[in-house]
Amino acid sequence: MLEVLKDLSGSYMSDEQREEVLGQVLKEAGYSKDCYLTLDDFTKVLGHSGVKMDVEVPVD
């Protein structure tokens, strides 16, 4: 999940910021570090998280 977020955010976010965002999304969905995340859960978490994953890339 961090790799997907890295691909979406590029250099606009640090690794620490990405980890914080992902941690918050999972926490709000009721998951802890001890939980396993299935593909169905992954879809539910990201589909209903309210996190905006749009990235604007400046064009020269």
User: Is a pLDDT exceeding 80 seen at residue 32?
Assistant: no
Domain ranges of the chain: 2-47
Write the burial class of residue 49 (CB in 10 Å: 0-12 exposed, 13-18 middle, 19+ buried): middle
What's the CA gap between 49 and 60, in Å, rounded? 33
* Mean pLDDT, all residues of the chain: 75
Q: What is the mean pLDDT of residues 51-59?
A: 64
What's the CA gap between 5 and 22, in Å, rounded? 8
What confidence tens digit (pLDDT) does each residue in 3-31 have? 888 888 888 888 898 888 888 877 877 77
